[in-house]
Every structure is written in structure tokens, then in C-alpha cells.
Amino acid sequence: MMSSQAVEFATTSRLRDGRLITLRRLSADDADAVVALHRHLTDHDRYYRFFTLNPVQLDQLVSRLIEPENGQCALGAFDGDQLIGVANYTVSDDPGSAEIAIVVAHKDHSLGVGTALLKHLAQIVRTHGIRHFEAAVLADNDPMLVVLFDFGWPSKRLNHGSVLHLDIEIPDYVGEASTASNEVP
């Protein structure tokens, strides 16, 4: 098993269009980039991420992402200096589970950004004893459901109207996605 230090450092991933992106923890230096990413979401993408067109106060969200408390982590996907995606987790009441959220810039959908972020997040949480991801996803958010299910990890699904509550088991070894073309060393 990898040490927690090894997986928490930055890594790279190749997207389906050939670009090489960097995945790393967000820091205070990334605040403006996190704001820009969220401000430039389409209404559709904003609704899928927050289940509303008017999400929580952006400054509070940014603070939680760049200065996470104990039991939280946020990763950014960077194409050069441009932030194109964010994935974060918060440990839930069950210390073996963490609630996750992912957002990707609209122009970078379906290229493997979300998949790369989820995989790296899984590698990090496993070193901290977390064995399950929890996610609330709108039932018609097909792109996010593809990201969550492409790995083939065992999962349970509870339907609550238009929202699916997913419990996804993270395997002991987080290997390559079966259908993704990204490469995270």
C-alpha cells in the first residue's frame, strides 16, 4: 500500500484529447481560480452541482475548498495555470465514509477530468481509512453518473425522487478505470 505522503503530492493525468493535466491539493493561492471556475459554470452545470441556480455563498465555498478543516480535502485539476475541475470530500458521521462533490468546466466535460479527480481522491481517502464515497446526484445528471460508475466499484443506490443517493465502495487498490483513457501514475 502507498504511503499517504506519496499519493497526496501532485500527479498528472492524460485527458482523452491528449492534454496532460496536473492534479493537486487546492491552496489559498488558488482562491481566484476557484471563484472563476464556479462563476463561469453554465446554469445547467450550476444546477447539477448545487441542485439550484443560486448556490451557497461563493466566498464560503471557496474558503472551505482552499482552507479545508480536518476531515476535508479539495483537489484541483489544472491545465497549465487554468483550473478546469475541482473534487472535494468531507468525512461523514461514519468515519469510514466521505461525501464527495465534483465540478468540471463545461468545455472540459467528457474528457476524463472528473474521472481523474475521483481516482486521485480515492487514492488519498484510502490512506486515511475511508472505504466509501457518498454522493447525492440528480438522477438525470448522466455525465456525473458515468464518472461514478465507470470504475465498476460496488455501489448501492437509493432513489429519493429526482435525487440519487449513492454509497460507493472504494477498493483496497484504486486501479485504472475500465473505460477511461486517463493515466494517473
Report yes or no on 55 lying in a domain. yes
Report yes or no on 177 lying in a domain. no
pLDDT band for position 52 (50/70/90)?
A: confident
Report yes or no on 183 lying in a domain. no
Name the helix (H) or strand (E) containing 43: helix 43-50
Domain count of the chain? 1
Residue 151, class by beta-carbon neighbours within 10 Å (0-12 exposed, 13-18 middle, 19+ buried)?
buried
Would you give the DSSP letter of residue 30? G
Report yes or no on 184 lying in a domain. no
Say what the pTM is. 0.87
Report yes or no on 180 lying in a domain. no
Domain span at residue 58 reads 4-169
Report yes or no on 108 lying in a domain. yes
Residue 106's CATH number? 3.40.630.30
Q: 50-55: which pairs have CB atoms within 8 A and are 24 or more residues apart?
A: 51/136, 51/138, 51/163
Give residue-wise pLDDT tens across range 108-147: 999 999 999 999 999 999 989 999 999 999 999 999 999 9
Report yes or no on 26 lying in a domain. yes
pLDDT band for position 56 (50/70/90)?
A: low
Report yes or no on 182 lying in a domain. no
How far is it, in rounded angstroms, from Cα 133 to Cα 6? 21
